[in-house]
């Protein structure tokens, strides 16, 4: 902006109200919340909504096109696609949230310790963060899945391990700036230890930016899970995942003539990840005092 | 001359740190070797010897390869072998891992190179226009596109593209690197275009955002006003002044994105049956060909090391303020 | 006809918290060869006024709502962009406040001066331009010009950077030079040198100059005429000596009274009471009334327009006549000593 001195009166609104106001202004973010809600409801109430089991095989009706009975047709072993679609939502959302949570916990603990203790602790944590950041999570997870065998738990842990540095750096920054604040120094003078400081000061202050990072992390995790499962290295059949539902679609025949097999799960991933990303973007604008 | 010395010292320091990290990574990879189920000796003997050898022969080999010695010595042996190009043998095909990787590395580099170029081709104009026409419809459209590039999984986009371009309109081939019987550059390019485009699109999002924010920050600088006050027109201001300044951090970002481009290439190669390292990696994982997987892990580690070094180098060279400090 | 005429300029800015009325009806003119000093506090609108002349206000968020800006009679606001660009850096040139941020850090100083030259002289070759740039650097007192041309701004000292800035501005023999707080970012000793430079440059080129500053001392040294601004409006205009000798606006009186005096070293400081106005919601009527010792009801309700009071002077105050006899010290009592 231009370098003009503007004498502006301080805004007489609480930061939270300001943030909500900004978020709502972001219409796409609000719409995305609605979309995400639909996905969540679909996943939670998958059984009642679809009326089919996602794992029942019916070899007499393989790859049937959509009909009254099977709204999205059946897959290569006769399982109902629509119910698999909905149940797969549970996996994706679950993995996404769990991984992001792990990342936030590790990141907050390591980041605040690094900021509070400084010295070699800080250096080590930052080096670790750099290492985890420079490696592409997907390939490393492929390698690990290759050696140790695919498993959902390994996947969630691995995603969390690759996401913590972003959160960690953020929390470290917040901690460093808080350290200089008077009320924190007062706390320390009274004998507050790192855990107390973390709980009472650092976490509340870091919450807004961390929530942005966590949301974007959920989006990234969902995408990673889908890709890994697509490659056959994540969620294993018969448990449905949007990713492994697309593994079938590697043949040209399927792509051309059976779009109901691969379009819905692919769209599901795309829409969910987009929605979560938009929400994260909206949160970022709401929380950041400087607009981008 | 002094500044050259300072720059050299900085690079040396970064080199040493990166090498240390790389050494630690090799230790981690080595631990993976041992975590793999099965007998490591099988990974290190050529298959003909393996098949014809008796138990005593294998035991002798094990001793020769140092596999009954302490872990540290084993690590050293393994590292020594690796540096000399001996990464063992594929459990599936019996061929040496090094030869497998080396014949696959070419197509992957082609794919990554063209993909990266395409992603910059998309990201730069979008980022610049979005920055110059900030907060207008164009800007929002560009933001949506960049978010789409990050959110829509590459493999899904690939399937969509195959559906439209290969099956519906029969414009481009969807598998492999060449059509049997045909050869030459045009054929190669036709096969390269679709995978490279999808790869490029997937990487363009973060670049575009970065270019946009870098340009916005430069466009808000005071020196932009000075340039306007001298009578410079809008194009000159953007290109001659802000773009050059905005470019500096972007170059570093590009260098650091290389491992991510490789990750994207792995998936793309699988979908398009592009005969590169990524496809090899995925199939080895599916077939539990541990020696190949570990060779692949080493390659990744080297790539990460290189991209970090290049980024450090670029950082010092590109910005005259840093260069001359 | 004057060289530059600014008439009833109104500029505001849209911000998240509302509209800032940065400039609210400013009128003044500049004749060939004269130095007009524009003085006021931060937020008085002086920089915005200056930048509006060359159309350097980004719109949005800024808006030039109304007013006439004319150069040699030509309307600057209605001008085609190409014609305006020919004027910027040519007949009208600007020097900015902080040369560290206003010079491009990754372009050599020489390249920036050459750019200024070649933007206005298309048939100047690169070598000719470089030679001329070296001459310019020398003329503003930068030693070793040939070597300095290749250096980057961060390799210059603060004073030298400003000299380079001035060299860039006078490169094309401007008729009007606008200097926006040219010495504020500099050390005091360097300030004197740069001011000297401005004065000699002006004497040589006979360019008219608008000198924007908050420092009355600078005004006293260099200006021929003074425009006093407050809250986006002109409070008083006068030739420099009469303004200092007999100020005819309470704000001017306050400004002068607040200057520490050398001949009364132990005397108390006399600040203007109150605080600068909130430009989102400026005071009604006369913007100075909340802080003015002469304020009456009329000042709150009726906005005083600039009126001619003879001898080339104008003032915007309902009670300016009261000031003819009054002692400034009485108007602004000393602050209570701590």
**For C63-114, what is each residue's pLDDT tens digit?**
888 899 999 988 988 889 889 999 998 899 999 988 888 898 888 999 999 9
pLDDT in tens, B11-45: 788 788 888 888 888 888 877 777 766 666 666 66
Where b means 16+ CB within 10 Å and e means fewer, C162-201 reads bbbbbbbbbbbebbbbbbbbbbebbeeebbebbbebbeeb
Tell me the mean pLDDT in the region A33-40. 91
Percentage of chain C exceeding pLDDT 90: 32
Mutating which of A5, A36, A130, A143 best tests the B interface, going by the most B Cβ atoms within 10 A?
Answer: A143
**Could you give the angle at the alpha carbon of B177 between the alpha carbons of B175 and B179, nearest 5°?**
80
C230 bridge partner residues: C233
Interchain contact A246–B (C-beta under 8 A)? yes
pLDDT in tens, B94-130: 777 888 888 888 889 999 999 999 999 999 999 999 9
3 state SS of B302:
helix
- Shortest Cα distance from C100 to chain A (angstroms)? 14
Are the Cβ atoms of C104 and B319 closer than 8 angstroms? no
pLDDT value at position A12?
Answer: 39
- Shortest Cα distance from B284 to chain C (angstroms)? 49
- pTM given for the model: 0.79
Residue A292 pLDDT greater than 70, yes or no:
no
**Residues of chain A neighbouring C63 (CB-CB closer than 8 A):** none
Q: How far apart are CA A292 and CA B131, in angstroms?
A: 10
Are the Cβ atoms of B263 and A139 closer than 8 angstroms? yes
Selection from A100, A114, A102 nearest residue A170 by Cα: A114
Percentage of chain B exceeding pLDDT 90: 17
Sorting pLDDT into bands at 50, 70 and 90, what band is B53?
Answer: low
Residue B175 pLDDT greater than 70, yes or no:
yes
pLDDT in tens, C24-61: 989 999 998 899 999 988 888 899 999 999 988 887 78
Q: How far apart are CA B154 and CA A227, in angstroms?
A: 8
**Can you read off the two tokens belonging to residue C42?**
């931060």
Selection from C186, C165, C174 nearest residue C112 by Cα: C165
Going by the DSSP 8-state scheme, the letter that residue B181 receives in this structure is T
- Of C86, C103, C165, which is closest to B231 when you measure between CB atoms? C86
Q: How far apart are CA A55 and CA A81, in angstroms?
A: 10
pLDDT value at position B67?
Answer: 66
- DSSP β-ladder status, C18-30 and C176-180: unpaired
Nearest CA in chain A to B272: A250
- Of A2, A5, A8, which is closest to C62 when you measure between CB atoms? A2
Higher local confidence (pLDDT), B167 or B232:
B232
Q: Is residue C134 within 8 Å of C145, Cβ to Cβ?
A: yes
**Residues of chain B neighbouring C104 (CB-CB closer than 8 A):** 223, 226-227, 241, 245
Higher local confidence (pLDDT), C205 or B111:
B111
Going by the DSSP 8-state scheme, the letter that residue C123 receives in this structure is T
pLDDT in tens, A121-153: 888 898 889 888 888 889 889 888 887 788 889
**Residues of chain B neighbouring A32 (CB-CB closer than 8 A):** none
**Can you read off the two tokens belonging to residue C222?**
């260099």
Q: Is residue A240 within 8 Å of A87, Cβ to Cβ?
A: yes
**Chain C residues within 8 Å of chain B (Cβ atoms):** 51, 54, 56, 81-82, 85-90, 93-94, 96, 98, 101-107, 115-116, 119-120, 152, 154-155, 165, 168
Other C-beta atoms closer than 10 Å to the C-beta of A194 total: 16
Interchain contact A35–B (C-beta under 8 A)? no
Sorting pLDDT into bands at 50, 70 and 90, what band is A286?
Answer: confident
Q: How far apart are CA C117 and CA C96, in angstroms?
A: 18
**Residues of chain B neighbouring A227 (CB-CB closer than 8 A):** 153-155, 267
- Shortest Cα distance from B7 to chain C (angstroms)? 18
For chains A and B, what is the number of CB pairs under 8 angstroms? 122
Q: Is residue C176 within 8 Å of C208, Cβ to Cβ?
A: yes
**Residues of chain A neighbouring B220 (CB-CB closer than 8 A):** 1
Other C-beta atoms closer than 10 Å to the C-beta of C280 total: 16
A80 bridge partner residues: A74
Higher local confidence (pLDDT), C270 or C168:
C168
Sorting pLDDT into bands at 50, 70 and 90, what band is A1?
Answer: very low
Are the Cβ atoms of C17 and A4 closer than 8 angstroms? no
Q: How far apart are CA A263 and CA B159, in angstroms?
A: 9
- Shortest Cα distance from A6 to chain C (angstroms)? 6
**Residues of chain C neighbouring A11 (CB-CB closer than 8 A):** 17
**Residues of chain A neighbouring C13 (CB-CB closer than 8 A):** 4, 6
Are the Cβ atoms of C104 and B241 closer than 8 angstroms? yes
Sorting pLDDT into bands at 50, 70 and 90, what band is A11?
Answer: very low
Q: How far apart are CA C52 and CA C76, in angstroms?
A: 9
Q: How far apart are CA B38 and CA B290, in angstroms?
A: 9
Q: Which of residues 159-188 of B touch A (CB under 8 A)?
A: 159-160, 162-163, 166-167, 174
3-state secondary structure chain A: CCCCCCCCCCCCCCHHHHHHHHHHHCHHHHHHHHHHHHHHHHHHCHHHHHCCCCCCCCCCCCCCCCCCCCCCCECCCCCEHHHHHHHHHHHHHHHHHHHHHHHHHHHHHHHHHHHHHCHHHHHHHHHHHHHHHHCCHHHHHHHHHHHHCCCHHHHHHHHHHHHHHHHHHHHHHHHHHHHCCHHHHHHHHCCCCHHHHHHHHHHHHHHHHHHHHHHHHHHHHHHHHHHHHHCCCCCCCCCCCHHHHCHHHHCHHHHHHCHHHHHHHHHHHHHHHHHHHHHHHHHHHHHCCCCC
- Shortest Cα distance from A163 to chain B (angstroms)? 14
Interchain contact A8–C (C-beta under 8 A)? yes
Task: List C-alpha distances in Å: B164 to A227, B168, B170.
Answer: 21, 5, 8
For chains A and C, what is the number of CB pairs under 8 angstroms? 40
- Shortest Cα distance from A8 to chain C (angstroms)? 6
**Residues of chain C neighbouring B319 (CB-CB closer than 8 A):** 106
Selection from C100, C74, C118, C50 nearest residue B232 by Cα: C118
What ipTM is given for this predicted complex? 0.83
pLDDT in tens, B56-72: 777 776 666 666 667 77
pLDDT value at position C176?
Answer: 93
Nearest CA in chain B to A258: B163
Are the Cβ atoms of A9 and C51 closer than 8 angstroms? no
Interchain contact B57–A (C-beta under 8 A)? no
pLDDT value at position C302?
Answer: 87
Mean pLDDT of chain B: 81
Q: Is residue C211 within 8 Å of C222, Cβ to Cβ?
A: yes
Chain A adjacent subunits, 3+ CB pairs under 8 A: B, C
Q: How far apart are CA A160 and CA A139, in angstroms?
A: 15
Interchain contact B252–A (C-beta under 8 A)? no
**Can you read off the two tokens belonging to residue B304?**
């990460």
Sorting pLDDT into bands at 50, 70 and 90, what band is A14?
Answer: low
pLDDT value at position B216?
Answer: 87
Going by the DSSP 8-state scheme, the letter that residue C283 receives in this structure is P
Are the Cβ atoms of A6 and C13 closer than 8 angstroms? yes
> Which ranges in chain B belong to alpha helices (H)?
2-35, 40-44, 47-52, 55-64, 71-83, 97-132, 137-151, 154-161, 185-219, 222-229, 234-236, 244-272, 277-287, 290-318, 320-323
Q: How far apart are CA C173 and CA C171, in angstroms?
A: 6
pLDDT in tens, B123-149: 999 999 998 888 788 888 888 899 889
Mutating which of C19, C21, C41, C43 best tests the A interface, going by the most A Cβ atoms within 10 A?
Answer: C43
């Amino acid at each position: 902006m231009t370098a003009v001195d503007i004498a502006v009166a301080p805004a007489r609104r609480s930061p939270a109200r300001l943030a909500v106001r900004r978020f709502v202004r972001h219409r796409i973010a609000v719409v995305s919340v609605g979309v995400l809600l639909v996905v969540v409801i679909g996943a939670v109430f998958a059984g009642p909504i679809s009326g089919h089991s996602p794992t029942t095989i019916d070899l007499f009706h393989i790859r049937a096109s959509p009909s009254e009975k099977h709204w999205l047709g059946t897959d290569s072993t006769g399982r109902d696609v629509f119910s698999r679609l909905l149940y797969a939502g549970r996996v994706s959302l679950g993995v996404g949230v769990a991984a992001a949570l792990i990342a936030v916990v590790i990141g907050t603990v390591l980041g605040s310790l690094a900021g509070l203790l400084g010295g070699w602790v800080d250096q080590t944590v930052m080096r670790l963060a750099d290492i985890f950041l420079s490696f592409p999570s997907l390939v490393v997870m492929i390698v690990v899945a290759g050696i140790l065998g695919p498993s959902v738990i390994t996947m969630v842990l691995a995603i969390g391990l690759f996401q913590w540095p972003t959160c960690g750096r953020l929390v470290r920054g917040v901690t460093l700036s808080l350290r200089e604040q008077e009320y924190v120094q007062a706390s320390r003078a009274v004998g507050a230890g790192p855990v107390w400081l973390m709980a009472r000061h650092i976490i509340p202050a870091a919450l807004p930016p961390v929530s942005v990072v966590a949301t974007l992390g959920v989006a990234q995790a969902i995408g990673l899970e889908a890709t890994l499962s697509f490659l056959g290295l994540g969620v294993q059949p018969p448990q449905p995942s949007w990713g492994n539902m697309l593994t079938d679609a590697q043949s040209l025949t399927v792509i051309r003539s059976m779009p109901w097999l691969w379009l819905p799960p692919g769209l599901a991933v795309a829409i969910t990840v987009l929605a979560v990303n938009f929400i994260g973007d909206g949160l970022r604008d709401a929380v950041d005092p400087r607009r981008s | 001359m002094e500044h050259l010395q300072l720059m050299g010292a900085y690079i040396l320091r970064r080199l040493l740190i990166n090498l240390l990290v790389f050494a630690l990574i090799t230790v981690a990879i080595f631990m993976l070797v041992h975590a793999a189920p099965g007998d490591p000796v099988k990974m290190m003997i050529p298959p003909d010897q393996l098949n014809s050898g008796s138990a005593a022969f294998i035991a002798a080999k094990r001793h020769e390869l140092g596999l009954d010695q302490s872990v540290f010595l084993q690590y050293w042996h393994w590292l020594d072998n690796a540096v000399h190009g001996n990464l063992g043998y594929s459990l599936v095909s019996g061929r040496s891992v090094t030869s497998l990787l080396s014949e696959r590395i070419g197509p992957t580099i082609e794919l990554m190179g063209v993909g990266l170029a395409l992603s910059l081709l998309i990201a730069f104009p979008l980022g610049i226009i979005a920055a110059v026409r900030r907060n207008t419809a164009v800007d929002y459209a560009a933001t949506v596109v960049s978010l789409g590039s990050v959110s829509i999984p590459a493999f899904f986009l690939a399937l969509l593209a195959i559906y439209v371009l290969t099956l519906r309109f029969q414009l481009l081939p969807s598998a492999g690197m060449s059509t049997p019987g045909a050869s030459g550059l045009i054929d190669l390019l036709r096969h390269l275009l679709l995978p490279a485009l999808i790869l490029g699109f997937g990487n363009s999002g973060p670049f575009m955002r970065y270019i946009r924010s870098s340009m916005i920050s430069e466009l808000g600088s005071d020196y932009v006003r000075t340039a306007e006050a001298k009578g410079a027109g809008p194009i000159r201001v953007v290109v001659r002044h802000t773009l050059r300044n905005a470019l500096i951090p972007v170059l570093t970002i590009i260098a650091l994105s290389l491992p991510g481009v490789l990750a994207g290439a792995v998936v793309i190669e699988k979908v398009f049956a592009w005969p590169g390292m990524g496809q090899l990696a995925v199939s080895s994982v599916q077939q539990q060909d541990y020696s190949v997987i570990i060779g692949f892990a080493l390659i990744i580690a080297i790539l990460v090391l290189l991209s970090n070094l290049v980024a450090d180098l670029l950082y010092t060279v590109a910005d005259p303020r840093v260069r001359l400090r | 006809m004057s060289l530059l005429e600014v008439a009833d300029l109104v500029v505001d800015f849209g911000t998240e918290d509302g509209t800032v009325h940065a400039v609210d009806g400013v009128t003044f003119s500049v004749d060939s060869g004269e130095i007009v000093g524009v003085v006021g506090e931060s937020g008085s609108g002086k920089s915005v006024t200056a930048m509006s002349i060359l159309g350097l206000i980004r719109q949005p968020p800024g808006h030039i709502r109304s007013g006439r800006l004319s150069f040699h009679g030509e309307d600057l606001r209605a001008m085609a962009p190409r014609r305006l660009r020919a004027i910027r850096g040519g007949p009208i040139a600007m020097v900015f406040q902080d040369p560290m941020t206003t010079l491009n850090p990754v372009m050599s100083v020489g390249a920036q001066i050459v750019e200024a030259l070649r933007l206005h002289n298309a048939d100047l070759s690169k070598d000719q331009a470089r030679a001329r740039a070296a001459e310019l650097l020398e003329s503003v007192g930068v030693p070793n010009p040939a070597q300095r041309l290749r250096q980057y701004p961060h390799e210059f000292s603060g004073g030298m950077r400003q000299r380079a800035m001035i060299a860039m501005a006078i490169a094309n023999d401007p008729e009007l030079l606008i200097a926006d707080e040219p010495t504020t970012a500099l050390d005091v000793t360097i300030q004197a040198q740069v001011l000297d430079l401005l004065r000699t440059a002006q004497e040589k080129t006979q360019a008219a100059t608008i000198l924007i500053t908050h420092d009355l001392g600078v005004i006293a040294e260099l200006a021929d005429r003074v425009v006093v601004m407050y809250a986006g409006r002109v409070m008083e205009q006068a030739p420099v000596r009469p303004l200092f000798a007999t100020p005819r606006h309470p704000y001017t009186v306050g400004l002068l009274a607040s200057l520490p005096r050398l001949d009364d070293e132990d005397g108390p400081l006399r600040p203007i009471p109150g605080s600068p106005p909130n430009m989102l919601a400026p005071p009604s009527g006369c913007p100075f009334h909340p802080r003015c010792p002469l304020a009456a009801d009329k000042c709150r309700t009726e906005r005083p327009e600039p009126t001619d009071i003879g001898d080339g002077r104008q003032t915007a105050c309902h009670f300016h006549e009261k000031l003819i006899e009054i002692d400034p010290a009485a108007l602004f009592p000393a602050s209570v000593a701590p």
